[in-house]
């Protein structure tokens, strides 16, 4: 990655996209950040606006655009249930029509594309942990299916464009990721727990709290994405899981957040949402083998950094 590239990051003002833009600028690439600001925020990339290597475009990927670039990271899509269920039809359009526009552009300008897929393609899995060879168990007509099925269709589109048109694609299946710049109101479990603990409120756990997730710190994830984009081995077009295999119950996560914040608030339980997976843990052996990648940041360390970021932003919000 020593040669300077011109790189498009769709969804570049979002949580993951903004961290990716930071890393690409650090590596001295030219970055075009494209975002419609549905869940992204200018605040996330404000520090880059005066850098000559960075360009910000307000645009929705469901509308065609043509840019001369070398690489495209397609991260455009709301990723938390509260956001992707707000307008489920638009969510599917973003995953499918948006990606069709990106792949069409990549074919025309001969750009490499990395598609941000998700562990949600595995649904509520019967195989644990989940390897890339597992085809998943997804409810095709459930309230989460706009995201799950949209991302599954997107993977199929990537491979069809690769097989039919020679488009150079990469597919990363992202497992639960957390860190600074997560939206305060994104409705996902880490941000929910931290905001509730910092505000001195009881922590809400859905179900009995025994369901598990594996949480990857954002810096680890971005490193994995960059390695996959640069990888040119024989499995480069195959999906790669990027996630931290450390598995925690929701009750364990709530207790850790309370401890790190210094909160003594109780944990309260509410009914589990429809189609919520009981277990989620990546088999990251393919990424270890091909990319020499593995998660390095422990949950306690990552949560501490995330809590400090949330504490600062909540204080600014309260002072406004």
Residues known to be catalytic: 147
- Rounded CA-CA distance 135/148 in Å is 12
Fill in the DSSP letter of residue 122: G
- Rounded CA-CA distance 173/180 in Å is 21
Position of tokens 């859905």? Answer: 206
Who contacts 303 (Cβ-Cβ below 8 Å, separation ≥6)? Answer: 178, 190, 194, 256, 257, 260
End-to-end alpha carbon distance in the chain = 42
Residue 116 three-state SS: strand
> Which CA distances in Å does 12 have to 54, 61, 75, 159, 242?
11, 12, 7, 23, 19
Q: With b meaning 16 or more CB within 10 Å and e meaning fewer, what string describes 108-132?
A: eeebbbbbbbbbbbbbbbeeebbeb
- Rounded CA-CA distance 242/34 in Å is 23
- Rounded CA-CA distance 73/21 in Å is 10
- Rounded CA-CA distance 195/299 in Å is 17
């Amino acid at each position: 990655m020593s040669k300077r590239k011109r790189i498009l990051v769709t969804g570049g003002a979002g949580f993951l996209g903004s961290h990716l833009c930071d890393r690409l600028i650090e590596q001295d690439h030219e970055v075009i950040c494209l975002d419609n600001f549905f869940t992204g925020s200018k605040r996330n990339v404000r520090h880059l606006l005066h850098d000559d290597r960075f360009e910000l475009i307000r645009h929705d990927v469901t509308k065609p655009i043509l840019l001369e670039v070398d690489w495209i990271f397609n991260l455009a899509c709301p990723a938390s249930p509260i956001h992707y269920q707000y307008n489920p039809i638009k969510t599917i359009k973003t995953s499918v029509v948006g990606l069709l526009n990106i792949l069409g552009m990549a074919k025309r300008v001969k750009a490499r594309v990395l598609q941000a897929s998700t562990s949600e393609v595995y649904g509520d899995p019967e195989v644990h942990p989940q390897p890339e060879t597992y085809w998943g168990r997804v409810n095709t007509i459930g309230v989460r299916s706009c995201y799950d099925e949209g991302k599954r269709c997107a993977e199929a589109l990537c491979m069809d464009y690769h097989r039919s048109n020679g488009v150079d694609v990469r597919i990363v299946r992202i497992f639960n990721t957390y860190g600074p710049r997560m939206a305060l109101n994104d409705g996902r479990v880490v941000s929910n727990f931290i905001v509730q603990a910092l505000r001195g409120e009881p922590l809400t756990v859905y179900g009995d709290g025994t369901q598990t997730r594996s949480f990857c710190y954002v810096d680890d994830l971005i490193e994995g994405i960059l390695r996959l984009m640069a990888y040119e081995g024989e499995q480069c077009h195959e999906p790669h899981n990027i996630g931290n295999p450390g598995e925690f119950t929701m009750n364990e996560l709530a207790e850790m957040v309370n401890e790190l914040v210094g909160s003594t608030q109780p944990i309260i339980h509410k009914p589990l949402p429809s189609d919520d997976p009981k277990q989620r843990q990546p088999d990251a052996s393919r990424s270890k083998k091909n990319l020499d990648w593995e998660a390095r940041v422990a949950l306690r360390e990552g949560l501490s950094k995330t809590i400090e970021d949330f504490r600062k932003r909540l204080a600014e919000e309260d002072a406004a």
